[in-house]
């Protein structure tokens, strides 16, 4: 039995994925669920972004995107579609990467998940390095309390939980407030609008759980 499970975060550039290409044209952050690879090689995608009508237009024009459906609210646009272009994440899954969250921005993707042991981590890095540019941003052992705790108890995504944690640690919720949303967004390496959208969604989940 292998005792060590590592939480990992990668930054990938050079993957010719429709979502990565779209963020080159439209400066938004796309938060995506793990893509589902079908037996025919096509991929089911489910993702969201801050409101911006340019993004659905760009995706609709992409020949690799089919059956695009967009749900629009004032706070976010939620997308479901089929992609004819498998991205590198499927190759990483094949060698042992357990995907938890993905975010596309500036033409690349940040992927967070877990690997079981350093040998698997090396295999994931080697596999990705064969096709795209990859940078390991963070790696740390999975704690015994990590799989239960805050995110699942309050119905938060990993990206929302991270944003709340970083904002709290930096003093964003203090009175008087000592830092700005721009400061937190810079620390998270996302746009201000993406941070505020995560914050609003996290608050909605928290209040929904509290007040039923």
**133-145 pLDDT, tens digit each:** 777 777 777 665 5
Mean pLDDT of the chain: 82
Nearby residues of 60 by Cβ (< 8 Å), 6 or more positions away: 68
pLDDT for res 81: 95
Rounded Cα gap, residues 72 and 138, in angstroms: 33
Which of 13-17, 23-27, 165-169, 206-210 is least confident?
Answer: 206-210
Q: What is the mean pLDDT of residues 165-172?
A: 86
Q: What number of residues does the chain have? A: 212
Domain ranges of the chain: 5-141, 150-211
Q: Are 11 and 128 in contact (CB under 8 A)?
A: no
Give, as one character, the DSSP assignment of residue 126. H
Q: Quick one: pLDDT band at residue 63, thresholds 50, 70, 90?
A: very high
**11-48 pLDDT, tens digit each:** 888 778 899 999 999 999 898 988 888 888 889 999 99
Residue with tokens 């094949």: 94
Q: Is the pTM of this model over 0.75?
A: no
| Helix (H) / strand (E) containing 168 | helix 158-170
User: Which CATH code fits 150-211?
Assistant: 1.10.10
Q: Which of 3-7, 17-21, 73-77, 125-129 has the highest mean pLDDT?
A: 17-21
Q: What is the mean pLDDT of residues 185-202?
A: 88
pLDDT for res 113: 82
Rounded Cα gap, residues 109 and 63, in angstroms: 20
pLDDT for res 144: 54
Q: Is the pLDDT confidence value at 59 over 60?
A: yes
């Amino acid at each position: 039995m292998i005792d060590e499970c590592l939480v990992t975060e990668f930054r990938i550039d050079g993957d010719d994925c429709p979502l990565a290409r779209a963020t080159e044209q439209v400066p938004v952050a796309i938060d995506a669920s793990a893509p589902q690879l079908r037996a025919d090689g096509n991929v089911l995608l489910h993702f969201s972004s801050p409101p911006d009508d340019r993004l659905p237009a760009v995706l609709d024009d992409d020949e690799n995107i089919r059956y695009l459906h967009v749900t629009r609210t004032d706070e976010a646009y939620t997308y479901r579609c089929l992609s004819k272009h498998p991205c590198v994440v499927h190759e990483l899954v094949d060698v042992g990467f357990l995907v938890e969250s993905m975010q596309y921005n500036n033409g690349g993707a940040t992927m967070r998940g877990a690997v079981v042991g350093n040998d698997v981590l090396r295999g994931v890095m080697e596999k990705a390095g064969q096709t795209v540019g990859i940078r390991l941003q963070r790696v740390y052992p999975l704690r015994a309390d990590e799989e239960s705790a805050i995110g699942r108890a309050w119905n938060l995504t990993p990206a929302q939980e991270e944003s709340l944690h970083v904002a709290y640690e930096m003093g964003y919720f203090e009175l008087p407030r000592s830092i700005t949303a721009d400061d937190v967004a810079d620390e998270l390496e996302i746009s201000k609008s993406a941070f505020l959208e995560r914050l609003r969604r996290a608050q909605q989940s928290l209040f929904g759980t509290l007040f039923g």
